[in-house]
């Protein structure tokens, strides 16, 4: 009996060792899987979480769970927004009727939401980004990669700072960008759309972001032009405000098309003056002309600007935003102000009459009808 038992011991030990080896391999694989956090939970942030969550379940190189940081709010029912998202798998305030994916976990604690994540997706109104970055200093992994879906810029004494640069400078990590013709509610119901990832140096990182967002209905391509992609996504909101003025005054499609063409020209000129490395070809990607078209035809900036013009500029954008957007934020008006500050500081106002006029109308210095009068100021050399 003893020899037989002795003979069995090595086999059992081998089985245990084999199981341990398998577990170790699984653990090793798990430690190399990327963990994703979405920082922001508005309309677009919720759609981004939905896209990402569908891919993390499918792809073995990502952890299944997707954390989504939520700026906590109390709903009319008295419940916390985070609790309702986690119970119903739906952002009932900013994306009602759309299931996000059971692997999306809402978290109101920013530090906890980013804990141990190495892929950070920023998608909040740009005016909140500096404060968010300050809170994250020293709280994220050293090897983390970021991507910004944020449209806008910060204007500082030394000049304009793109949001991707703000993230990189404050957090010490690389930051790509994703922009495109992306009206969130259409993507939420899986209507076909495209987007552009802008990356700086590392093509492999860019492809990883493409992999994370790409679905059969959301086609993503990558270009090596962070500033070009980001400025397209930022400046098109200013042009959309102009398009909304045209709609509000019922000036017609010819006028709107002219405004869009002139707006694209100013977008390109402004981008290349700030960053000579910006590529002409970027303006023909989804982030460029396609995003400009869709934002001028739909989108919240056009919608609220139309209401502003219909009211003859007598109701402020702040008032209309609060009434029409249910907690969402406009980007075009604040971006127009920031662009105007750059133009004024650098003596470029006369070179960018459309951008300048949008700001002056938005602040009540000019009536909405001035949107088609600015061309009289257009320099022949422009």
Q: Is 184 annotated as a binding residue?
A: yes
Q: Is 134 annotated as a binding residue?
A: no
DSSP 36: E
For every residue of 313-374, DSSP letters joined together read T-S-HHHHHHHHSTT----HHHHHHHHHHHHHHHT-GGG-HHHHHHHHHHTTSS-GGGGGTG
The active-site residue, picked from 35, 50, 236, 268, is: 236
Backbone angles phi, psi at 146, to 5 degrees: -120, 155
In the sheet where 218-223 sits, what is the strand order?
Answer: 104-107, 62-69, 34-39, 119-122, 145-148, 174-179, 193-198, 218-223
Count of residues in the chain: 382
Token pair in block for residue 255:
């006028």
Examine the residue annotation and report whether 236 is marked as an active-site residue of this protein. Answer: yes
Q: Is 233 annotated as a binding residue?
A: no
CA distance 78 to 76: 5
DSSP reduced 3-state for 200? coil
Tell me which residue of 81, 131, 94, 135 sits closest to 111, measured CA to CA: 135
Q: Is 272 annotated as a binding residue?
A: no
Q: 22 vs 10, 12, 63, 230, 301, CA distance in Å? A: 18, 15, 19, 45, 54
Q: Is 40 annotated as a binding residue?
A: yes
DSSP 142: T
Q: Is 355 annotated as a binding residue?
A: no
Contact 363, 181 (CB under 8 A): no
Q: Could you count the other beta carbons within 10 Å of the beta carbon of residue 95?
A: 23
CA dihedral over 231, 263, 380, 367, signed as positive or negative: negative
Backbone angles phi, psi at 106, to 5 degrees: -80, 140
Q: Is 331 annotated as a binding residue?
A: yes
Q: Is 263 annotated as a binding residue?
A: no
CA distance 297 to 373: 22
Q: Is 41 annotated as a binding residue?
A: yes
Q: Binding site for NAD(+): what residues are annotated? A: 40-45, 128, 184, 300, 329, 331
Residues annotated catalytic, as ranges: 236
Q: Binding site for substrate: what residues are annotated? A: 151, 300-301
Q: Binding site: what residues are annotated? A: 40-45, 128, 151, 184, 300-301, 329, 331
């Amino acid at each position: 009996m003893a020899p037989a038992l002795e003979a069995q011991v090595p086999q059992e030990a081998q089985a245990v060792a084999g199981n341990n080896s398998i577990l170790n391999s699984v653990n090793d694989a798990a430690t190399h899987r990327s963990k994703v956090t979405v920082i922001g939970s508005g309309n677009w942030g919720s759609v981004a979480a939905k896209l990402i969550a569908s891919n993390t379940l499918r792809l073995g190189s990502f952890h299944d769970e997707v954390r989504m940081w939520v700026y906590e709010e109390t709903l009319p029912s008295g419940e916390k927004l985070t609790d309702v998202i986690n119970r119903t798998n739906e952002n009932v305030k900013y994306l009602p009727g759309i299931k996000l994916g059971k692997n999306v976990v809402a978290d109101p604690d920013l530090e906890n939401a980013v804990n141990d994540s190495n892929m950070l997706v920023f998608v909040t109104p740009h005016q909140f980004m500096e404060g968010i970055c300050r809170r994250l200093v020293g709280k994220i992994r050293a090897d983390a990669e970021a991507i910004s879906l944020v449209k806008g810029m910060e204007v500082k004494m030394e000049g304009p700072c793109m949001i991707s640069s703000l993230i990189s400078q404050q957090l010490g990590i690389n930051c790509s960008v994703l922009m495109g013709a992306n009206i969130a509610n259409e993507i939420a119901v899986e209507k076909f759309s495209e987007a552009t990832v802008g990356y700086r140096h590392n093509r492999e990182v860019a492809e990883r972001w493409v992999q994370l967002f790409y679905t059969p209905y959301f086609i993503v391509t990558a270009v090596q032009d962070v500033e070009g992609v980001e400025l397209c996504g930022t400046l098109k909101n200013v042009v959309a405000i102009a398009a909304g003025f045209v709609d509000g005054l019922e000036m017609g499609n010819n006028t709107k098309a002219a405004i869009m063409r002139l707006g694209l020209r100013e977008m390109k000129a402004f981008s290349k003056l700030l960053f000579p490395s910006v590529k002409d070809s970027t303006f023909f990607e989804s982030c460029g002309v396609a995003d400009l078209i869709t934002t001028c035809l739909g989108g919240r900036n056009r919608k609220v600007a139309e209401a502003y013009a219909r009211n003859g500029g007598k109701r402020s954008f702040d008032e209309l935003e609060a009434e029409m957007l249910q907690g969402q934020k406009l980007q075009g008006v604040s971006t127009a102000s920031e662009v105007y500050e750059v133009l004024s500081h650098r003596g470029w106002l006369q070179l960018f009459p459309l951008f300048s006029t949008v700001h002056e109308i938005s602040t009540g210095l000019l009536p909405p009808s001035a949107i088609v009068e600015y061309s009289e100021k257009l320099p022949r050399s422009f």
